[in-house]
Amino acid sequence: MKTAVIGYPRIGSKRELKFAIEKYLKGQIEQSELITKAKALRKINWLDQDNQKIDFISSNDFSFYDNVLDTAYLLNIIPKRYQSLDLDPLDKYFAMARGYQGKAGDVKALAMKKWFNTNYHYLVPEVEDDVQIELNGTKIFDEYQEAKDLNINTKPVIIGPYTLIKLLRFTGTLTIQDIVDDVIRVYVEIITKFNDLNAQWFEFDEPALVLDMDEADIGLFKNIYTKILKEKGAIKVLLQTYFGDIRDCYNDIMALDFDGIGLDFIEGKETLNLIKKYGFDQNKILFAGIVNGKNIWKNDYQKTIILLEEINENVNDIVISTSCSLLHVPYSLENEEKLDEKYKRHLAFAKEKLVELFQLKIISKLGTKHSYYVDNANIFNEAANRSNASVQARLASLKESDFIRQPLFDQRREIQKEKLKLPLLPTTTIGSFPQTSEVRANRRAYRKGEIDETTYCNFNHTMIQKWIKYQEEIGLDVLVHGEFERNDMVEYFGENLDGYLFTENGWVQSYGTRCVKPPVIWGDISRNHPLTVDYAVYSQSLTDKPVKGMLTGPVTMLNWSFPRVDISLKEVALQLALAIKDEVLDLEAKGIKIIQIDEAALREKLPLRKSDWQSEYLDWAIPAYRLVSSSVQADTQIHSHMCYSEFDDIIQAIEDMDSDVISFEASRSNLTLLDTLNKVKFKSEVGPGVYDIHSPRIPSVEEFETALKAMIEKIPVDKLWVNPDCGLKTRGVFETQSSLENMVTATKNIRLKLQQIKK
């Protein structure tokens, strides 16, 4: 049995790529230095894999920002607004990713969306009517050659044409049918070039095949690959799927002339059954995804070997592989010096997963007497102490009424209006303010024990004072404390709850240069002390305006952590909900009138197939949220924030959250959602983000007014809030303040206009 890896983390073991790109974008280093750095990182990645004798190593899994953007760029799917910028190719590329404001012009970034059921985000390519789809750039060939120069013969990997097409956004009149042949032509051209370069394998990643597919989708897929495979020449083609099973197209795929098919045995619930039921074409190689590319737990060899034996009954030629790209796990446990060995022995990050692939290969050859197998079995056979009796008792005693807020929405709304006395179109922000270098240095110094708690808190208090004063001065209506004590909205809570483990360097790329460090849920979760109350109370003491208490919701805590796998996700979510509920009640008791419970990632882990949404997810996720928020008084206003704006298909679930106010991301997408809200008579008040915080550009007052007017046309004005589309922690102070000032000015202008109309 051989081994394969779909993709490897590219951000660097200590986020070197992130820092290099950020420096480059600030003009602190030359482009050549960035390129050298990237090259060095690719080398490390390839050598890591080569050291573990991985037989199929990918190239082109590297990206300066995002693989989907790379693919669109390679096909020259580049909107005119970027084409026309007088910038060099890499800068144009970054302009698509992040927007651009400078000498060459002023353009917004492409929209960003979650990548399937992960916390990775891709850029949504836009197809304009005059798009010229053709091969553009040489990245994929250069990186292949670069590996070859290191004596590593890679399989170049690319997002496949079917998935790419499914992710495209058509901004004009063109449809899929108008471009599909051009797309095919470019992919054929790429394969032909790789034939010329004597590459042995080429990999198409087609995760979109694990989604629900209808006849038209299957037809499109067959059409594309029938044409491509006819031209494949001597190169062997691997069709790689991940994040689920391919129940809708299994036989169609099998009938096509692929040389290898990559299937996910971890998230693909039906994968094994499909093979058993329909067999596997013995002229093809199965790339079996059996090492989990998403979680950080050690592979249980006892289970994996049984699985491999079962697969082997139906398949001759098996390559063992990761279930998806290792992009979704941190780089290596080698960087974890503080984590106790008793935990570490249960974990495997990307580099350790390479070792697992290697060991499984050896075991499959030499049998289960091998020490690799025995040592692994010992770890899994030892009892790990993960449960907490009082948490268990609390869960067992939950009643239906714990999940229902009283009084009902309309009644509370009146009570809250009376109490809060906010103006029309209340302005607010989503919670965090810029995490400047001083803010981070303060946290770092405290963490390292270089300063005591008082010094640490005093600094945070000074920041809070400064920003509360600023918010009052510019006229925001609902203030926030700024989250200076938080490294990350999930990790901060994780570090303060029992049951969590956290890492020093367990970074995972979220988008572009942004990484998150998901904490690890090890045991039953409980809260032993208030987490946010002191800063909230301090902030409220500085102002008469309401300051929002700021919490992370249970579903987001779960979705942005590495969850345990020995109990159900539902159980973990309810444990988290109980812990956060205690915090909500403490805030309320201390006089905090508005509490925001961020469910940034609620949508993210929706099962990829609609048929599973309710039963496998929403049936416990929404109740978990309600458990947190249902016990407050009528006059406490509960806000929720979400980092996306695709609600159309889960609008009922969002409504069932029973929040008083919901803010969400809307600025990079169009406003059709607002029509949906209108149509279903959505009850909660809403704050559709009026500007994009993922980009450094500063919208003008006019731009804000236009955006607000568009919103008012769609949403009853007395239900509308005005806010950025997410927290401001990643932005600089100048751009944050300029944007907020423009936002407030525009809101005031609109209020005035509305008053005049009324008169």
Q: Taking a C-beta distance cutoff of 8 angstroms, is the pair 538, 368 a contact? A: no
Asked if 328 is an active-site residue, the reply is: no
Query: What string marks each residue from 559 to 598 as x (binds Zn ion by CB under 5 A) or -?
Result: ----------------------------------------
For residue 641, give the nearest of 693, 568, 587, 702 by alpha carbon: 693
Round to whole Å and give the CA distance between 350 and 11.
Answer: 12
Q: Taking a C-beta distance cutoff of 8 angstroms, is the pair 430, 663 a contact? A: yes
Ranges of H-type helices in 231-329: 250-254, 271-278, 301-312
Q: In the bound complex, what is the minimum distance in angstroms from residue 711's beta carbon to ligand GLN?
A: 20
Query: What string marks each residue from 720 to 739 as x (binds Zn ion by CB under 5 A) or -?
Result: ------x-------------
Round to whole Å and give the CA distance between 245 and 237.
Answer: 20
Closer residue to Zn ion, CB minimum distance, 161 or 724: 724
What is the DSSP pairing of strand 661-664 with strand 685-688?
parallel
- The single residue among 58, 63, 241, 432 that binds ligand GLN, judged by CB under 6 A, is 432
Closer residue to Zn ion, CB minimum distance, 412 or 694: 694
Q: Is 112 in the site for Zn ion (CB under 5 A)?
A: no
Q: In the bound complex, what is the minimum distance in angstroms from residue 482's beta carbon to ligand GLN?
A: 9
For residue 138, give the nearest of 156, 152, 164 by alpha carbon: 156
End-to-end CA distance of the chain, in Å? 79
Candidate segments 26-34, 128-136, 424-432, 457-465, binder of ligand GLN by CB under 6 A: 424-432
Q: Is 191 in the site for ligand GLN (CB under 6 A)?
A: no
Q: Is 600 in the site for Zn ion (CB under 5 A)?
A: yes
The footprint of ligand GLN on residues 384-423 (CB under 6 A) is none
746, interface contact from ligand GLN, Zn ion, none, CB < 5-8 Å by kind: none
Query: What string marks each residue from 585 to 604 as x (binds ligand GLN by CB under 6 A) or -?
Result: -------------x-x----
Ranges of H-type helices in 502-600: 533-541, 554-559, 569-589
* Burial class, 498, CB count within 10 angstroms (exposed 0-12 / middle 13-18 / buried 19+): middle
The footprint of ligand GLN on residues 623-652 (CB under 6 A) is 641, 643
For residue 207, give the nearest of 74, 328, 92, 115 by alpha carbon: 115
Q: Is the dihedral of CA 745, 749, 755, 759 positive or negative?
A: positive
E strands, 318-423, in order: 318-322
Q: Taking a C-beta distance cutoff of 8 angstroms, is the pair 678, 633 a contact? A: no
Q: Is 726 in the site for ligand GLN (CB under 6 A)?
A: yes
Task: State the DSSP code for 432.
Answer: B
Q: Is 347 in the site for Zn ion (CB under 5 A)?
A: no
The footprint of Zn ion on residues 17-36 (CB under 5 A) is none
Closer residue to Zn ion, CB minimum distance, 582 or 604: 604
Closer residue to ligand GLN, CB minimum distance, 483 or 524: 483
Q: In the bound complex, what is the minimum distance in angstroms from residue 652's beta carbon to ligand GLN?
A: 22
Task: State the DSSP code for 328.
Answer: G
Round to whole Å and give the CA distance between 255 and 266.
Answer: 24
Q: In the bound complex, what is the minimum distance in angstroms from residue 725's beta carbon to ligand GLN?
A: 9
Q: Is 55 in the site for ligand GLN (CB under 6 A)?
A: no
Q: Is 483 in the site for ligand GLN (CB under 6 A)?
A: yes
Q: Supply φ then ψ for residue 107, to 5 degrees.
A: -135, 150
Closer residue to ligand GLN, CB minimum distance, 603 or 641: 641
Which residue's CB atom is positioned nearest to Zn ion? 726
Query: Residues interacting with ligand GLN, by CB under 6 A?
Result: 430-432, 483, 489, 550, 598, 600, 641, 643, 726-727, 729
